[in-house]
Amino acid sequence: MISYGNCVYNRKAFSVVEILFAIVIVVALLLLIFPRVWGGHKKDKLAIARQDVTDRIPEALKFYELDNGRLPTTEQGLSALVTKPDIAPIPEHWNGPYLDKDPIDPWGRPYIYISPGEHNISYDLYSKGADLKSEKDDIKNWE
């Protein structure tokens, strides 16, 4: 017992009920916050794929074309931006690597590259997104 002036305080430990109540509150808060954080991860992947398809890979393709006078063929693929192609036509002025590693989408699959393109004159570049099925989540360099 602690006494301060006319007031007397009893010092007690927390009860089991109070501890359980605190745990329930913490768990409830985590359950509210976790889905928001987890859902943001999906949006991050889409943003990364969009940036790859609209900026990063096209910039590397531009430098490749400036050095070699042409884009890599579909058969040479985007790996031509990382290592000098050994499939004809062999680029005479390859000055790469134009990218530090083979371009892989955020879902772990290579980006799809077609040159000349079916939708664009020069090339088509896209990812099938997370589901591989519908075109709703495809990230592409046309439209």
Q: Give residue-wise pLDDT tens across range 67-114.
A: 999 999 999 999 999 999 999 999 999 998 999 999 999 989 999 999
pTM higher than 0.75 for the full model?
no
Cis amide leading into 106 (omega within 30): no
List the domain boundaries for the chain. Answer: 2-140
User: For 2-140, which CATH class?
Assistant: alpha beta
Q: Residue 130: CA atoms inside 13 Å, Cβ hemisphere, count?
A: 10
Q: Give residue-wise pLDDT tens across range 122-137.
A: 999 999 888 767 677 7
DSSP category for residue 26:
H
Kindly tell me if the per-residue pLDDT of 6 is higher than 80: no
